[in-house]
Structure 1
Amino acid sequence: MRHGTRPRGTTRIGLCTAIGAGLAAVGVLALAPTAGAVTPTTATIDFDCGSFGSGNATLTASQSGTSATIELSTSAITAPVNVGAGSVNSTLSLTNHGTGEVKFTGNSNPAIPAGSPVSTGPLTGTVAPGDSLEATSLTVVVFGITATCTATSPQAPGPFVFD
């Protein structure tokens, strides 16, 4: 055998192995669940939180399969004191096609300086293809104090529709 040459057939085996690995990877990708898309990704709504105030909220939604998250920031509730990260427990209730209720919950939040609007999320929930969710109420618990907010306007530009 000459220096620098391969035994006959090894190139073919190497090429077949590479093609086989590539096809296996494509097969795995074809079987992997696809990430869903939610539209719109951002919406606004007004909340009345009783003695805590009222104001506008911005909701930002994302979806991965049947798991979805919504992040929320609202001027309806302001922090009376500095609030540390991860200390706001929130439940966002949404109606699905105008009937039934879906809840998104979580206790993630950035640090919120005194006097600033409350931000919370990601709030997590489970969705199915075709779900059309519109916020109806929000419950926020900070330092054991509960603020319950009711939607006073339709969600704009409309409900979150999940794939």
Structure 2
Amino acid sequence: MKHGKLSVGAVLLGALATGTLAMAPVATAVEPTTATLSFDCGSFGSGEASLTATQDGTAATITLSTSAITAPIPISANSVNSTLTLTKNGTGTATFTGNSNPAIPAGSAVSTGLLNGTVAAGDSLEAKSLTVVVFGITATCNATSAQTPGPFVF
């Protein structure tokens, strides 16, 4: 009889553990987490851009810093409106927006702060263009190189 109770107890314990694992949140990750590319921003300049991506479920953020645009005067925190447009799965587009930039000293590269967007599992995103609005002046930058080491895959 003890053997039968032990088997039932083991089955119940195994079922409980399986149920707990099934209810655990699914870990999500983006690969790669950092990438670089080049931008041409017309009369504002051209240069390298560094992107860092994170993911939490369907919410994703990308932070971008680029030497293609430098601040002519100090720019206060949270005053740069940025929109990053990315090619989505090779055919569509996705946009990430925000205005959480850090304070940017005169002569320094522009940093967007966190740009927020939505992703689905398997989305492959590669930077296509960046629009930055500072003091009512709009700078539009277009990617002139592929993202290295490759697109962000969520």
Name the TM-score, length of structure 1 as normaliser: 0.81
Runs ≥4 residues deviating over 4 A? none
1:7-59 deviations in whole A, cap 9, x for unaligned? xxxxxxxxxxxxxxxx7xx84x7535334100000000100000000000000
Aligned to 1:154: 146
Aligned to 1:34: 26
Residues 1:82 and 2:46 aligned together = no
Name the TM-score, length of structure 2 as normaliser: 0.85
Structure of larger gyration radius: 1
**C-alpha separation between the residues in 2 aligned to 1:34 and 1:45?**
31
Aligned to 1:112: 104
* SS at 2:43 equivalent: helix
The worse-fitting range, judged by mean Cα deviation, of 29-38 and 126-135 is: 29-38
Contact 1:56/1:74, CA 8 A, preserved across alignment: yes
Query: How many matched pairs?
Result: 138
Question: Aligned-residue CA RMSD in angstroms?
Answer: 1.6
Segments of structure 1 that go 5 or more residues without pairing to the other structure are 1-22
Segments of structure 2 that go 5 or more residues without pairing to the other structure are 1-15
Aligned to 2:84: 92
1:107-135 deviations in whole A, cap 9, x for unaligned? 01100000000001210000000000000
Aligned to 1:53: 45
